[in-house]
Structure 1
């Protein structure tokens, strides 16, 4: 088997996936308070072993690829580097930044993308619908600003401490359009409440439209892949 295919063997892939999940579990356990020193040592040893194995994998991928520089700066190359770099940086930086670097270990989860075809289809769907999504995003930003201006003029006089400016109103718009509804800022005037109803109706559309765009793109890509697979099987 060619060297570049060694890491794609089912056994190696399974071990890699296990190490990723194991590392995430250890990271979560490490945040628990009042852990015994023995548990701390075990977690430290586990982290060292996992990083060592991922480092060997990263170096092997660089060694086995033809265009090494292209791999290093590719998406998967950067993900593989992100999975191991925080461990080595934590030994040479001020300890006050150690907590932030430990959070970067979660970048190791991104290594799962390498082994999931569904992520590839999703990325292709985003690329296929990027123009529609861009137009929709720009339109959404316009709606956000107009809604902030509207609620400001409805509620500023009644609640000057809540809706002090357009920027404060933007926070209300984001919370309302996403239907989160924290309740920290809400309208009390009749006009403001009617305006809020309109904004909520628009918010439902803001969620539904991009979902439909991406879903249709995913369906098109899946149909195309099935067509290609069918034609290949018929040729055989």
Structure 2
């Protein structure tokens, strides 16, 4: 029986597994819609009762799913403390927390219901390619983050020395200048902090050019990694078909 349940829950290529996956996906989407409707200010008592009942139904299904995944897992604690295990837990625990306590402050924990959206990742094969892609470009991404950190520091220091005397309250220190460096290198440019000296403006121009390159690097890395991930997935599928 344990093996049959494992096939239904973990093998979405089987007919029963597909039905199970689709059922969970539909419940996740409907529960998120219901959660959003709950935030409307003029809900009637009848609407609130329907939403509460539907929430109870969803929590029952998600709780059963969570317990079944623990049951069929060869190493239950590995699942419980895994990424998906934590997401599955966060999707249900606010309901039980609300039922156990009647403190208004604890209502803030209901925000964790939005983590149900992340449960959809488990049931989308295309999204699982990102996991493979992340492993492929892990070293490149780490190097990119290090270089980005260096550029942020250099930009913060540079704009500080150009603008500190002209705007001592805005560019008080290199640390205070860090916000300008981040929004400039990411080409966001909120306009809340900007240079007024000629040197600062010229410096900003070159930082913007560098920022354009920094923004495009991750896109290229991810695109190439996803292509490689698709190739790996196709090879694995071919090997499964041969078996």
* TM-score > 0.5 by shorter chain: yes
The CA distance in 2 between the partners of 1:229 and 1:104, in whole Å, is 36
| Number of residue equivalences | 235
The CA distance in 1 between the partners of 2:129 and 2:101, in whole Å, is 39
Q: Does 1:39 align with 2:41?
A: no
Match of 1:158 among 166, 174, 180: 166
Q: Does 1:225 align with 2:227?
A: no
The CA distance in 2 between the partners of 1:231 and 1:88, in whole Å, is 44
What is aligned with 2:128? Answer: 120
Deviations along 1:150-191, whole A, 9 cap, x unmatched?
111111111122212222211111111122221111111111
Match of 1:77 among 54, 73, 85: 85
The CA distance in 2 between the partners of 1:126 and 1:101, in whole Å, is 30
Deviations along 1:209-233, whole A, 9 cap, x unmatched?
1211121111112123223434555
Q: Does 1:141 align with 2:149?
A: yes
What is aligned with 2:111? Answer: 103
Length-normalised TM-score, structure 1: 0.92
Q: Does 1:194 align with 2:202?
A: yes
Q: Deviation of residue 95 (structure 1)?
A: 2.2
Match of 1:210 among 210, 214, 218: 218
Matches of residues 37-76 of structure 1 in structure 2 within 5 Å?
A: 37-76=45-84
Inter-CA distance 55–210: structure 2 relative to 1 (3 Å threshold)? same
Q: Does 1:131 align with 2:139?
A: yes
What is aligned with 1:2? Answer: 4
Length-normalised TM-score, structure 2: 0.89
What SS does the corresponding residue of 1:162 show, helix, strand or coil? coil
Q: Is the 8 A contact 2:98 2:107 kept in 1?
A: no
Q: Deviation of residue 21 (structure 1)?
A: 0.4
What is aligned with 2:26? Answer: 18
The CA distance in 2 between the partners of 1:68 and 1:231, in whole Å, is 29
Q: Deviation of residue 42 (structure 1)?
A: 1.7
Q: Does 1:185 align with 2:197?
A: no
What SS does the corresponding residue of 1:91 show, helix, strand or coil? helix
The CA distance in 2 between the partners of 1:200 and 1:93, in whole Å, is 52
Q: Deviation of residue 34 (structure 1)?
A: 2.5
Inter-CA distance 94–154: structure 2 relative to 1 (3 Å threshold)? farther
CA RMSD of superposed structures (Å): 1.8
